[in-house]
A and B are shown apart, each in its own frame.
Chain A
Amino acid sequence: MSIERNKRKPFPWVKTAVAAVVVGALIVLGAQVFERQLHPESAGIAPAARVPGAEFPTDTFKGKDVPQPINYSHKLHAGDLGINCLYCHTYARRSKVAGIPPTAKCMGCHTVVGTDKPEIEKLTQMWQSNQSPAWNKVNDVPDFVHFSHERHLQKFLFDNPEMDIKNAPDVCAMCHGDMNQVGVAKKMKPLTMGFCIRCHENNQGPSDCTRCHK
């Protein structure tokens, strides 16, 4: 009888234990890595490093179409005509908000250019009646988030020896996507806290909560 009991297959204790520990370690490490989304295709370096010395967040977001009082086309102005972002959004380099260009700036060109287009006529008429168009905010972060365009431009553009002001679109594209590809503005990056944190980690940004939350 004892002989027969010896024939019983022993349970593989060592294997089980090893497996358990390995699984545990995998859960910890794997979750760390995946949940923080540090794997390349999510937040690694873009195919062509567009901002030297910085890792380029490649997350994308499919923003909905936001109707605007005037169908302003970024593709036309920034893309085809190649106007620098900072030409219109000039506040971005001096303030936490990028701001909407003052109507005067539009009229700077459009008193002569394309005055016959309906949209331009709309604009002109607003300008004459001394009212400013009510734009709908497209890239909108929660009110407890205090993002500073100024600081980010400073770091990636002006303090960046390899960058020239004409590369501004590349820097803006980090958080706004390639606006020169779309017509009326769309949200093209998630702009969630995870998005920010990942980029901050990859580019050694501050990890101090009070930098953004006050």
Chain B
Amino acid sequence: MSSLLGNIFKGWSDYSKGNEEGGHHNYEHMYAMVIDLDKCTGCNACSTACYAENNLATVGEEYFGARQAMHWMRIERYFDEPNLEKAGSEADADTQSHGASFLPMMCQHCNAAPCEPVCPVAATYHTPDGLNAQIYNRCIGSRYCANNCPFRVRYFNFYDHQETAWPAPMEQQLNPDISVRSKGVMEKCTFCIQRTRAASNTAKNEGRAIRDGEIQTACQQTCPTSAILFGDLLDETSAVHQAWKRHQVQLGRYTQNKENPELRGYRIFEELNVDTKVLYLERVREV
């Protein structure tokens, strides 16, 4: 029963709580990811798996060229290696002396997500699972969230792609657990929320907690080098929790005081204090 005043007081307590704990509410789970950039070969398997799992529309060359594509998981490729002390010889070699650096970039599910407060209709918000959720059918397409996303991982349906992306009989492949987005709606990586939901339902029916590794995101499941790890940070035993601990990275802070600064774990744009939940492990190279 939602009595207005009762909720106001609850609101106040949450308010103080939010201030003490840097905006952390009482989460049931805190799903997070670890991506080992040294294992990532940039082969695109994760990206394609994401297209298959999440009903992503392909937009074709013209729209891709207009940068209106919607690849929730994009593999970026860079050739420079900042913060790696170079052997002088290869510093300015006129041919490439080493491989490229690949970066799988998807929604980082920030805990202090810049996109959330700015949505006029609260179509994007934080779930009790610690996920940054996007409610397609609530979205009115003001696109403020995408403007405010430092990672540029929110994608907007500039057109209706249904006829071109899934000509019959292709629509039979669409995943019924995910809504098909139509024009004017913002969309982004959900950490495969349909899989999370399915697992939590099963767990509830069997009256148990979700096991670590029970939920696999599509990208994680297909990654040929197993560079991606996904799990619940609140679960002390989970591999993800272990990894975060091992690399001495903590949520809710934007400067990590690692006793060993050479530990590879880091979060992109940590200095923005958006508190991302994807931990990247630095790429390694034999110099």
**A–B contact at 8 Å CB threshold (below):** yes
Contact between chains at A150 and B133 (CB < 8 Å): no
Write out, one digit per residue, whether chain B residues 186-217 have a CB within 8 A of any chain A CB (1) or not (0): 00001001100100010011010000000000
A209 with B4, Cβ < 8 A, contacts A144-B179, A150-B205, A154-B204 known: no
Q: Is B138 an interface residue (CB 8 A)?
A: yes
Given the interface pairs A202-B1, A214-B193, the reply to whether A146 lies near B137 with Cβ below 8 Å is no
- Residues of A132-186 contacting chain B, CB below 8 A: 142-144, 146, 148, 150-151, 154, 159
Taking CB atoms and an 8 Å cut-off, the chain B residues in 110-131 that contact chain A are: 125, 127-129, 131
- Asked if B2 and A201 sit within 8 Å, CB to CB, the answer is yes
CA distance A36 to B205 in the complex (A): 30
| Contacts known (A208-B128, A214-B190); A151 close to B204, Cβ less than 8 A | yes
The answer to whether B4 touches A32 (Cβ under 8 A) is yes
Q: Are B1 and A201 in contact (CB under 8 A)?
A: yes
Instruction: Check A6 for interface membership: any CB of B closer than 8 A.
Output: no
Say whether A29 faces chain B, with CB atoms less than 8 Å apart: yes
Using A28-B4, A210-B135 as known contacts, say yes or no to A150 and B128 having CB atoms under 8 A apart.
Answer: no
| Complexed CA–CA distance, A194 and B1 (Å) | 14
Say whether B158 faces chain A, with CB atoms less than 8 Å apart.
no
- B205's contact among A142, A143, A154, A208, by CB below 8 Å, is which? A154
B90 within 8 A of A: no
In the complex, chain A residues whose CB is within 8 Å of the CB of B193: 210, 214
- CB proximity of A102 to chain B, nearest CB, Å: 20
Chain A residue, CB-CB nearest to B122: A209
Question: How big is chain A's contact interface, by range?
Answer: 20 to 34
A144/B190 in contact, CB under 8 A: no
For residue B136, CB closer than 8 A to chain A, the reply is: yes
Chain A nearest CB, measured from B286 CB (Å): 44
Query: Which residues from B are CB-within-8-Å of A89?
Result: none
Chain A residues 102-146 with CB under 8 Å of chain B are: 142-144, 146
Q: Does B201 lie within 8 Å of A210, measured CB to CB?
A: no
Using CB atoms, name the residue of chain B closest to A93. Answer: B205
B197 and A210 contacting across the interface, CB-CB below 8 Å: yes
Of the listed residues A143, A201, A209, A211, the one surrounded by the most CB atoms of chain B closer than 10 A to its CB is A209
Q: For window 1-49 of chain A, which residues contact chain B by CB distance below 8 Å?
A: 28-29, 32-33, 36, 38
Smallest CB-CB separation from B136: which chain A residue?
Answer: A144
* With A208-B128, A209-B125 as contacts: A214 and B201 at CB distance below 8 Å: no
- Residues of A with C-beta under 8 A to B43: none
The answer for the CA separation of A193 and B131 in the assembled complex, in Å, is 22
For residue B129, which residues in chain A have a CB less than 8 angstroms away from its CB? 210
CA distance A209 to B122 in the complex (A): 11
What is the CB-to-nearest-CB distance from A96 to chain B, in angstroms, rounded to a whole number? 8
A214 pairs with B179, CB closer than 8 A: yes
- Roughly how many angstroms separate A75 CA and B230 CA in the complex, as a whole number? 50
Tell me if A62 is interfacial: C-beta within 8 Å of chain B. no
Smallest Cβ distance from B89 to chain A, in angstroms? Answer: 53
A214 and B204 contacting across the interface, CB-CB below 8 Å: no
Per-residue B-contact encoding for A199-214, CB less than 8 Å = 1, 0 else: 0011000001111011
Q: How far is the CB of B201 from chain A (nearest CB, A)?
A: 6
Can you list 9 residue pairs at the A/B interface with Cβ under 8 Å? A33-B4, A36-B2, A142-B137, A202-B1, A210-B133, A213-B135, A213-B179, A214-B178, A214-B179
Given contacts A32-B2, A144-B137, A208-B128, 19 further A-B contacts (CB under 8 A): A29-B4, A32-B4, A36-B2, A38-B1, A143-B179, A144-B179, A146-B177, A146-B197, A150-B205, A151-B201, A151-B204, A201-B1, A209-B135, A210-B193, A211-B197, A213-B138, A214-B179, A214-B190, A214-B194
State the B residues within 8 Å of A (CB).
1-2, 4, 125, 127-129, 131, 133, 135-138, 177-180, 190, 193-194, 197, 201, 204-205, 207
